[in-house]
Amino acid sequence: MPGTPGAEVPPPETTDTPARRLRGVPRQRHRTARSGEPRAGARDTDTLAFVESPVQLLNVLEWAHTAQATGLTVVVLSPHDPMTRGQLRRMAELARDEGHTVRWEEARGGPTAPMRTIGGLAPLLRRARCVVIGDPFSRYVQLLLSLARARDLVVVDDGTATMEFISQLARGEKLVRWHRNGSGRGARDLIFAPFSATARRRLTPAPEGGRRTVGLFSSMPVEAPPGVEVTTNEFAWTRGRFGPPRLTRAADIVGTSLVETGVVDTERYLAAVGSLARTHGATRYFAHRKESTEKLRRLVAETGLEIVRPDLPLELIARRGPIGRLIVSFPSTVVHTLPLALRGTEVKVAVCDIDPEWLTANASPRAQGFLDGVTGTARDVQRLPFTQPMAAG
C-alpha cells in the first residue's frame, strides 16, 4: 500500500508538485511488481543498488546501460526533502521503464524506520553478489555495507564528492565530506565510527588475487588507487534516450547549494549571480534542489531571473531541452557532466571560479582547494575568472 516501507511504487507526495508524465518518455509498458515479487524477464536479480539522490539513480541507470545489466533491484533510501523526493519519483519511473525493480524505502520515516528498513533489506543484502552504491559517505549506506556479503562493489558518481572519496580512499583516511568543518568526534560520529571503518575496508580493494573487487563508474577526473577498476561514464544512456535539445538564444545559469552548505556567503553569491546574468544575457536560473526558497526569492527580486525548479537531474533537463546555447555554472558536478550529456550539440558550458573572499568564516579549510580542483579539472568548458563577473557588476 502507498507509504509502506519497501513498497515497489514510490508513495504519493503531499508536500511537492504532483507527478507528471515525462515528456518524451513512453508510458510504462509493464505492470508494477508487488513487494517481493520478481519482475518477469529480470536477469540480474543478484545486483542490488542503493541510492539517496536523483543523480545517483541517474548514474546507476548509466552504469546498468554500460555494463548491460538488466533487471537489477534499485533501493531508494528516501530523504525528507520534498524536491529531492519529487525528482527521485520521476527517476524511479524511468528506472522501471528500463525494466529494473524499484524498492522505495521510507528509511527516515520516524525513529523506528531505520531498523525496519535494515531488517527488510537484510535478505537482499545476504543474497546480492554485486552491490552498487551512490554515496560512500552516507551513514545509512555504510551501515548497510557492513551487512553485505557481496564479492563485487561498485561506486557510481555522487557528483564531485566522488573526487574527494577517491582521494581519501587512496590516502587511507576516514570518509568525511569535503565541505564538513569539524573534528568528526561528535556523539553520532562516535556511534557510527565502527560502521564507517568497516565500509572503508570493504571499499578498499583486496590484495592481488583476492576474491573481492571494487569498481568505480565515474565521469569525474579521478586517479583511483591500485586495484580499483575505473569505467568512464560517458552518459551514453542519456544521449540515446533524450534529445537532441532545441536551443534558445539566451544563456542559462545553473544554481548551487554552496550557500546552504555554509561554504559561500549569501550576499557575495547573489552579487555574483546578478553580474553573470548581466554579462552573459541570462534569463533563467536552474535552481539546485537544496537551494532555499528565501534565497531564490531574493534572486528573482534582485536579478529578474526566471527560477526553474527542475523535476529531473539537469543532465536530462538539458538533453530534453529547450536549453540555452551557453550554460554558466559555479564549480559543481555539472561542469563535468553537461559536456558529456550534450556532446554533439552546439551548447557551450562555462564555469565561474569562486573568489576566496566569498567563503564564509565557517567554511572548511579544504573548501577553496576542492572548488579550485573541480574547476581546474573540468574538460570542454570555458573558465570565467571571478574577477570578470564581479567587475562587470
CATH number, domain with residue 156? 3.40.50
The verdict on residue 19 lying in a domain is: no
For the beta carbon of residue 90, count every other beta carbon within 10 angstroms: 22
Q: Show which of 233, 249, 280 is a domain's final residue.
A: 233
The verdict on residue 16 lying in a domain is: no
The verdict on residue 39 lying in a domain is: no
Both 201 and 245 in one domain: the answer is no
Q: Which residue has the cell 571494487?
A: 214
Average pLDDT, the chain: 84
Q: Show which of 214, 233, 252 is a domain's final residue.
A: 233
Tell me the β-bridge partners of 187.
none
Q: Show which of 199, 233, 267 is a domain's final residue.
A: 233
The verdict on residue 122 lying in a domain is: yes
pLDDT-wise least confident of 55-59, 126-130, 188-192: 188-192
pLDDT digits (tens, 9 = 90+) for 256-297: 999 999 999 999 999 999 999 999 999 999 999 999 999 999
3-state helix, strand, coil in the chain (%, to 5): 35, 15, 45
Both 169 and 296 in one domain: the answer is no
Residue 57: enclosing H or E segment and its boundaries?
helix 54-67
**Residue 350 vs residue 205, higher pLDDT:** 350
Would you state the pLDDT for residue 245?
97
Would you state the pLDDT for residue 156?
96
Please check the confidence at residue 164 and state whether its pLDDT lies above 90.
Answer: no
Both 217 and 256 in one domain: the answer is no
Residue 230: enclosing H or E segment and its boundaries?
strand 228-232
- Contact of 21 with 27, CB cutoff 8 Å: yes
Q: What value does the mean pLDDT take over residues 134-157?
A: 91
Which segment, 210-219, 296-305, 371-380, is predicted with the most confidence on average?
A: 296-305
- Pairwise CA distance, residues 121 & 170, whole Å: 30
Say what the alpha-carbon torsion angle 363, 368, 373, 378 is, to the nearest 10 degrees: 90
Both 248 and 348 in one domain: the answer is yes
For the beta carbon of residue 315, count every other beta carbon within 10 angstroms: 26
Q: What value does the mean pLDDT take over residues 119-145?
A: 92
3-class secondary structure, 248: strand
Both 51 and 153 in one domain: the answer is yes
Chain centroid, CA 140 distance in Å: 16
Please check the confidence at residue 132 and state whether its pLDDT lies above 60.
Answer: yes
- Pairwise CA distance, residues 258 & 205, whole Å: 32
Domain that holds residue 178: 47-233
Both 225 and 295 in one domain: the answer is no
Name every residue whose Cβ is closer than 8 Å to that of residue 391 and which is 6 or more positions away in sequence. none
The verdict on residue 5 lying in a domain is: no
Please check the confidence at residue 197 and state whether its pLDDT lies above 90.
Answer: no
The verdict on residue 23 lying in a domain is: no
Both 265 and 383 in one domain: the answer is yes
Both 228 and 244 in one domain: the answer is no
Q: What value does the mean pLDDT take over residues 153-169?
A: 87
Please check the confidence at residue 105 and state whether its pLDDT lies above 70.
Answer: yes
Both 177 and 245 in one domain: the answer is no
Please check the confidence at residue 203 and state whether its pLDDT lies above 80.
Answer: yes
Would you state the pLDDT for residue 7?
52
Name every residue whose Cβ is closer than 8 Å to that of residue 206 and which is 6 or more positions away in sequence. 212, 213, 214, 227
Both 198 and 328 in one domain: the answer is no
Both 224 and 80 in one domain: the answer is yes
Both 245 and 229 in one domain: the answer is no
**21's grid cell:** 508524465
- Pairwise CA distance, residues 148 & 143, whole Å: 9
Whole-number Cα distances in Å, 215 to 125, 133, 156, 169, 310:
18, 10, 9, 13, 30
- Contact of 91 with 54, CB cutoff 8 Å: yes
Number of domains in the chain: 2
The verdict on residue 87 lying in a domain is: yes
The verdict on residue 263 lying in a domain is: yes
- Residue 232 CB-half CA count within 13 A: 7
